[in-house]
Chain A
Amino acid sequence: MLFKACGIKFSYSSTPTLEDVTFDVDKGQVLTLLGPNGVGKTTLLKCLNKVLEPKGGSVMIGGVDMHGISRREAAKQMGYVPQRGEVSRMTVFDAVLLGRRPYIEWDASEKDLKLTDRIIGLMGLSDLSLRYVDEISGGEYQLVQIARALAQQPEVILMDEPTSSLDVSNQHMIMRTIRKIVQRNDMAAIMTIHDLNLAVRYSDRFVMMHGGRIFAAGGHEIITSENIRSAYHVDAYVENVKGIPIVIPK
């Protein structure tokens, strides 16, 4: 087991936002957190990545407790793509190179620069590498953020709505690329996506959340009309096409 979150609890006020959230992910797997807005998916990702301090529970990667190590060491294990990153006046190359920060002591090494160059190519950002990030589109910046997290060479990559600003073509390109990277590098990816069909097509496992708790977890078998109704309060058909469930809202 590469990643295990155990009994995660969090609250912003007296009302608990997350209650006893437990799940795990194996090497080479993509896991998607599903659920309507406000169920605690983003909060959960932030708790997993130490952006927020959970009130209870533990996060283990390869048997190491993430809350027992420094933030910098944790950044070598986990890459994080926030839903809304802020743009600054630096080039795409520099923004992606920033992903090497956990490894850099004084200045970026030749290896850091070459890896950055390779990841920029992989994300299809080569033409933009010397453009300032405050001059590119929202979708392109989303790719930059993913590239930066990949430059951390993490064991686990956490992504909050990584495809929300992308067009259909780029959505599939990025999901396919993430999946290949995860499988090729024995990593794991944990993400939130609102597009159920995109999630179903590129994920191995799912965690469905409701009211800060997990109410269903597993593979494609949990993508059922009943679970979708329970989670989203929406009636939907679930058809199997070539072994992959397709969700069609009624």
Chain B
Amino acid sequence: MVITHDRTIVEVETDDIYNLRSDDPAETSSNFKEYRSYIKKKSWFILFCLIVLFATVIIAANIGSMKISFLDVLGHIFSLNMDGDGGIIWNVRMVRIIACILAGAGLAVAGVVMQCILRNPLASPYTLGLSSAAAFGASFGIIFLQAGSSITSGISIDNPYITTICAFLFSLLATAIILFLTRITRVSAETMVLAGIAISAIFTAGLSFMQYIASDAQLANIISWTFGDMMRGTWELNLIVFIVLLPVSLYFVYRRWDYNAMDSGEETAKGLGINTERERTIGMILSVLLSSVIVSFFGIIAFIGLLGPHIARMIIGGDHRYLIPAAIILGALIMLISDVVGMNIMHPMILPVGIITSMLGGPLFIYLLIRRYR
């Protein structure tokens, strides 16, 4: 605003600042420049996480019972060589690393969206009873469809596909029940969470019953399945997870503005033109579908859906434009680090990643909560 002694000009110019329809590129304040720099910092943070993830992949590919030199590992990775040592790198180590990245990224992005649409910071793929339903389904397959083996040494599941399909179908059943309950009542965040708690209780009771009637071998199989384990990763399973993860994540990224609006409350979001009922239903179906696929393939992996989103939120805030990509990368990174720890902490015994994420995730989560709310 130009300061002038001419009263008329002052009034006209003062009045013009109230003109919201002007297309004139008005001068921007210093805050505007600071905002641009602040946004750049968020992008740099995401890039930094990506570099750390890449470095972790290289380190993880170098860890294994068979010693292969660092340069050879790099050479096999970048040349896509799958012969000789390259076969070990790609078909033993990288397949597991990729499984970790996909599962971690998927659980984290599902967690971000669920926390937003359910307006609940503790929402994750497990809040809606998914893990209980999937575990119940896997137990059903092991006991009634003979998917479990009669063990002689160690624990193995004879027909993992039946177990996986049963786990997946029961997690979809849980989703369908929740959707039905929320439809006949009201599509609100509260009803979804409450329906999830009820479903979780029912399937947990069913799982306990299954464990009670199971033989020793079946019980061992059920318990083994419930430990999330990336050893189950194959290129085929990874491809299926990727095929689900990619379009679902792209949809979530596309809807990032709507999730920001929904974070500001139901009425604000509706006032901004968001169909909150539709977005909540679609967001829930997609996030549950994604987590169902991951849980069915790899078993129960706790805390990734909470840790990835919350660490990202604490560092770069709740703006979903940056939160979604940051949570995806951090989820993948935490999962990969947990798996590396699981493989090495009690070497030569390999601990399932689900145990590690719970052991690391629980205390870390408590620390983050104390830091955040102190």
Q: Which residues of chain A have a CB within 8 Å of any CB of chain B?
A: 46, 49-51, 70-76, 78-82, 84-91, 93-95, 98-99, 101-102, 104, 107, 110-111, 113-115, 117-122, 126, 129-130, 132, 145, 148-150, 152-153, 177, 180-181, 183-185
Does B32 have its Cβ within 8 Å of any Cβ on chain A?
yes
A121 and B260 CA atoms in complex are apart in Å by 22
Complex: A78 Cα to B257 Cα, angstroms: 19
Chosen A-B contacts, 10 in total, with CB atoms closer than 8 Å, are A74-B273, A78-B271, A85-B265, A90-B260, A101-B261, A102-B273, A111-B23, A121-B17, A121-B31, A181-B18
The residue of chain A having its C-beta at the shortest distance from the C-beta of B28 within the complex is: A117
Q: Out of B35, B267, B271, B317, which one reaches A75, CB within 8 Å?
A: B271
Do B38 and A101 have beta carbons less than 8 Å apart? Answer: no
Cβ-defined contact, A91 with B15, below 8 A: no
B26 in the interface, Cβ–Cβ < 8 Å?
yes
Residues in chain A near residue B267, CB distance under 8 A? 46, 51, 80, 82, 85
User: Which of A72, A132, A153 is the one whose CB lies under 8 Å from B317?
Assistant: A132
CB-CB contacts of B14-34 with A at 8 A, as 1s and 0s?
011111110101101101101
A75 to B23, CA, bound (A): 20
Q: Determine which of A51, A70, A79, A114 lies in contact with B28 in the assembled complex, contact meaning CB atoms within 8 Å.
A: A114
Contact with A along B24-51 (1 / 0, CB 8 A): 0110110110110010000000000000
Residues on B with beta carbons closer than 8 Å to the beta carbon of A120: 29, 31
Residues of B within 8 A of A115 (CB): 20
Q: Is the CB of B263 within 8 A of A86?
A: yes
The listed residue with most A CB atoms (<10 A of its CB), out of B35, B260, B272, B275, is B272
Contacts of A74 in B (CB 8 A): 273
Is chain A's interface secondary structure helix, strand, loop, or mixed overall?
A: helix
Asked whether, in the complex, the Cβ of B34 is within 8 Å of the Cβ of A85, the reply is: no
Interface residues, chain B, CB within 8 Å of chain A?
A: 15-21, 23, 25-26, 28-29, 31-32, 34-35, 38, 119, 257-258, 260-261, 263-265, 267-268, 270-275, 313, 317-319, 321
CB distance from B34 to the nearest CB of A (A): 6
Contact B31 A93 (CB under 8 A): yes
Chain A residues near B31 (CB, 8 Å)?
A: 93, 117, 120-121, 126, 129-130
Say whether, besides A86-B265, A93-B31, A101-B257, A75 and B26 are in contact (CB < 8 Å).
Answer: no
Q: Report the separation of the CA atoms of residues A121 and B31 in the bound assembly, to the nearest whole angstrom.
A: 9
- CB of B274 within 8 A of CB of A101, answer yes
Given A91-B38, A93-B35, residue A145 in contact with residue B268 (CB < 8 A): yes
Inter-chain CA distance A19–B29, complex, in Å, is: 48
Q: How far is the CA of A16 from the CA of B16 in the complex (A)?
A: 45
Q: Is B38 a contact partner of A185 (Cβ separation < 8 A)?
A: no
Complex Cα spacing A78 to B23, Å:
20
- CB–CB B271/A149 < 8 A: yes
Nearest chain B residue, comparing its CB with the CB of A102: B273
In the complex, the chain B residue whose C-beta lies closest to that of A179 is: B18
Contact between A113 and B21, CB atoms less than 8 A apart:
no
CB-CB under 8 A from B26, the residues of chain A are 114, 117-118
Other than the given A79-B271, A86-B263, 19 more pairs (CB < 8 A) read A49-B271, A80-B268, A82-B267, A84-B265, A85-B264, A85-B268, A90-B319, A91-B319, A93-B31, A98-B260, A101-B257, A113-B35, A114-B25, A118-B26, A122-B17, A153-B20, A153-B21, A181-B18, A184-B15
